A and B are shown apart, each in its own frame.
Chain A
């Protein structure tokens, strides 16, 4: 066997609490659990803690500067708390399995282990909603989140002629950051439908009282002063042969084309559900956010005993809410495993902080509700499943000959069977099938997800150490 457990792997094979993900929720949860005296392990896929929102919080070449904004510094504070909490933190660790017995399969440095936990706190965060338009697979088309990631972690700024298309807070934040970093943006193609403003209006009061209102509006003003913003964009299409060369769209009934080197797409974020679903956690369709979210009890408990979910993976609510939800989940674990622990955050205070942090969400959800044409491709040529290159038309054909749900589509077309395991097509497939079959997305359901939730080499599976505690008796605290 070539796979050896690399240095810096988990020190033990069982833990009181295993936290998966080191974004704001995971950092806060692990810090709280470890300070209460629980043996706590954090497994995170990135090279440093921070998650997506605070990516490279401690190592960014732009940290401390003006480009990323003041909120970014909060990530370093959370990472600092985690570092001194006593939790064992393992970066570069990909969790590929989690089951109802709280056995965690994790890969790091080419070797895999099976670990056992008394409680698991999933803090796997969010991913960007798929944006299936014609040409979205062309090199040169990336997500807004991708551009922000390389900006934070590596100080890379998009160059050449670029445009941002879509909607949502992250899009405006990236635009501002690019401008502050000295970049230029040819245009912002805003896809927010007019109707959303009306739909959001009844919730405006809550938003105006929220921490996002002032910052958000200032950001938009900052960007609009320097960039041409085209509103009401329909029929968005990335064009090019072998690579992006232009973007085509319709605004106010007029079709326009812009020559581009880079196009960055974004229409909000959705919970990253793969690991939770693979563990058997019950999920429901969210009619407002157009995605599946886990069914949760107090503090983030799920239908799987001992498995808790915190942060945006529990439903999109943003970084500040994620911190509080992480603390709440940790408090549930502490109460069960170490009830005599002292010096913990006060439950009522955490709950109040969560309430403050989620104020204004209803407004944002409605204002940035993604347009139907960008959730369900209208044309048949648009690729839905990027991995297996399955188009909307092929999915419609499969439905016509008898595929009734996403899982049958796998058998008909290999749709969702590639390495991304439906992360870039699952929601599109659910909504597309619901539309075609006259059902609700809840009735159509989602892909049945299974471990490994990320590909893992045969050599690693073949070399799982035989003495890992995951074997044999299942013990719950």
Chain B
């Protein structure tokens, strides 16, 4: 739903989204990297299990919740990407203690 403009060589950070390696720019938020990746970016709501995508990108809607390096329910739009970061999408009700 988005494409990158600017210098493609600037994407120097490698992150892993659901097992797929993806290049991102330093300064990208996790959610921005997800949107740019062309991969599935939806989570499922804990209430009804319907798919949801990011909505506000400024930390208020909580629709971009992802699991980052094993820690769940993080607001992907507020977390900057870092080399080697592993992101998994929250499908279904989130388990605790993982």
Could you tell me which A residues sit within 8 Å of B by CB distance? 45-48, 52, 56, 59-62, 67, 92, 94, 110, 127-128, 137-143, 145-147, 149-150, 153-160, 181-182, 242-243, 261-262, 272, 386-389, 418-420, 423-424, 454-455
Contacts and interface: CB of A to CB of B under 8 A. Distances in A.
Interface string B1-26: 11111110010000000000000010
B57 interface: yes
27 contacts: A59-B27, A61-B7, A61-B10, A61-B27, A127-B58, A137-B55, A142-B55, A142-B56, A142-B57, A145-B58, A146-B58, A150-B35, A153-B32, A155-B6, A156-B3, A156-B5, A156-B32, A156-B36, A157-B2, A157-B4, A243-B53, A386-B55, A387-B47, A389-B50, A419-B62, A424-B56, A454-B59
Interface of B is mostly: loop
A46 B31 CA distance: 13
A289 B53 CA distance: 28
B51 interface: yes
Interface of B: 1-7, 10, 25, 27-29, 32-33, 35-36, 41-42, 45, 47-48, 50-63, 65, 71, 73, 77-78, 80
A151 to B, nearest CB: 9
Contact of B5 (A182, A262, A388): A182
Contacts of A59: 27
Contacts of B53: 138-142, 243
A109 to B, nearest CB: 10
Most chain A CB neighbours (cut-off 10 Å) among B32, B42, B48: B32
A448 to B, nearest CB: 18
Nearest to A389: B47
A418 B2 contact: no
A52 B78 CA distance: 12
A389 B61 contact: no
Contacts of B60: 127, 272, 420, 423-424
A67 B6 CA distance: 11
A141 B57 contact: no
B47 A157 contact: no
A277 to B, nearest CB: 14
Given A153-B29, A455-B73, A62 B6 contact: yes
B45 A154 contact: no
A263 to B, nearest CB: 10
A94 B79 CA distance: 11
A149 B51 CA distance: 22
Most chain B CB neighbours (cut-off 10 Å) among A61, A272, A386: A61
Given A47-B80, A141-B55, A146-B56, 13 more contacts: A48-B27, A60-B27, A61-B6, A138-B53, A156-B32, A159-B2, A386-B61, A387-B47, A389-B45, A389-B47, A389-B48, A419-B62, A454-B59
Given A141-B55, A146-B56, A261 B1 contact: yes
Given A145-B58, A149-B57, A137 B52 contact: yes
Contacts of A128: 56
Contact of B3 (A159, A272, A388, A424): A159
Contacts of A94: 78
B61 A420 contact: yes
B91 to A, nearest CB: 13
Contacts of B25: 61, 154-155
Contacts of A47: 27, 29, 80
Nearest to A261: B1
B12 to A, nearest CB: 12
A58 to B, nearest CB: 10
A443 B28 CA distance: 43
Contacts of B35: 150, 156
A150 B2 contact: yes
B22 to A, nearest CB: 13
A141 B57 CA distance: 12
B53 to A, nearest CB: 3
Given A156-B35, A261-B1, A142 B54 contact: yes
